[in-house]
Amino acid sequence: MPSIITLNRASSNDQESDDILLKRLQDGDRSALDALMRRHHAPLSRFVHHYLHGAPGVEDIVQESFIRLYFKAKGFRFQSAPRTWLYQIAVNLCKDHRRRNREMFASFDAEVMEQESGEPGVDVQLQHKRDLVRVSKYIDGLPEKLKTALTLFAVEERSQEECASLLGITPKALELRVYRARKLLADKFSK
């Protein structure tokens, strides 16, 4: 009989809003964290994966985001949506990860650029890899607000409304950030 109660409770958790779940978490209910993780783990993982361009450490950052959400829940004042706060935690962790691992990315880029092979079709693949490395560098060089907006909207292909909600801005502000990011990228490619 207890498993039915647990199943029913899990079902009701999944229907509760993020605000209610976070309030429950603030009150010490750990099952609220489980519900938040079930709801946001996959989309947050995709976001972090795209933000870091598939670099190692995605799952670590996602897990650390939920850990920080748990330990800092009592300080959350509901001035933004809990989902927005979770994504901001993840963005900050991604920035830290990139700063710590700059040398690793630089050596990976150099390795890709130095690869040579006489096999047919490999030249095309190598050029494609070089182009991807170049695009990644340009995106990484964008100001953080523009990079985050572009990653959510263009790379993850989320709707304007969803991206704006995650970032805590208006859809028009998101549109402007994506436009500015694309313009900066186009300027870099034209050089």
For the chain, the structural domain boundaries read 1-100, 141-191
Mean pLDDT of 115-141: 67
pLDDT of residue 125: 67
13 in helix, strand or coil? helix
Model confidence at 182: pLDDT above 70: yes
CB 52 within 8 A of CB 58: yes
pLDDT of residue 13: 55
CATH architecture of 141-191: Orthogonal Bundle (1.10)
What dihedral do alpha carbons 124, 129, 131, 133 form, nearest 10°? -170
pLDDT of residue 60: 94
The pLDDT tens digits for 61-118 are 999 999 999 999 999 999 989 999 999 999 999 988 888 776 554 444 444 444 444 4
Weakest-pLDDT range from 39-43, 133-137, 178-182: 133-137
Model confidence at 143: pLDDT above 60: yes
pTM score: 0.65
How many residues are present in the chain? 191
pLDDT of residue 100: 79
CA distance linking residue 36 with residue 16, whole number of Å:
10
CA distance linking residue 81 with residue 166, whole number of Å:
8
CB 44 within 8 A of CB 65: yes
Options 2.60.120.10, 3.30.70.20, 1.10.1740.10, 3.40.50.720; CATH of 1-100: 1.10.1740.10
pLDDT of residue 25: 95
